[in-house]
Amino acid sequence: MKKTRIIVVFALLLITMSCSLVWAGATVKLGFEPGGDLSTNISGYTLGYGVDSGVSVAGEYLIALNDKVEVGGGLEYQLNRNVRGLETGFSFIPVYGMAKVKAPFSTGLNTYFTAKIGYNYLTLDEKVAGFDYGGGLYYGIGFGIDLNDKFTVDAEYAVHEGELGYILKQPFDYSKVRFGVGYKF
């Protein structure tokens, strides 16, 4: 199943790259998360764990409302990342709506702010058996720079919420900072 998801994501990226005229307004991003924090609440106790670094691939499609604001949506696929101190991993696949607003006073740098909100699906490593899990809310805020007509760099803080448990599901929250580079069609 994991290999199938990776193949599907890369096939979609290839299709997107081959149809650049159709996808004007689309951006493909490669992201790096240097680490993150995982927290869960079990029987009233909050447990926190560090998360190893990870890589993600995202596709976004934006439509300009005016010269300052763009709106659209996106899909991100995170490669599996491990929880420090545990021999298990997880990933999220968020689907989101977003707004991109050109930063005031950024005439020379083309800087912008982003806000995202949506739903994400939680996937667990095959090593974890017997857990019942589900997705939840995804939200993030970011800052970026359009380098030229084709390339962009950005940084983002995001929170992924999900549920995890044996019998009763408990909250499972993952927060991270992502640094990315994107190619605009």
pLDDT confidence bin for 9, thresholds 50/70/90: low
Model pLDDT, residue 17: 56
pLDDT of residue 101: 93
Q: What are phi and psi of 52, to 5 degrees?
A: -65, 165
Q: Which residue in 64, 77, 158 sits closest to 121, CA to CA?
A: 77
Mean pLDDT for the chain overall: 83
All structural domains of the chain: 2-184 (2.40.160.20)
Statement: the pTM of the whole predicted model exceeds 0.85: no
Convert the pLDDT of each residue in 160-170 to its tens digit. 998 876 666 77
Q: What is the mean pLDDT of residues 56-70?
A: 91
Tokens 């707004």 label which residue?
A: 99
Tell me the CB-side half-sphere exposure of residue 178, using CA atoms within 13 A: 27
Dihedral sign from CA coordinates of 42, 50, 181, 157: positive
Residue located via tokens 């680490």? 35
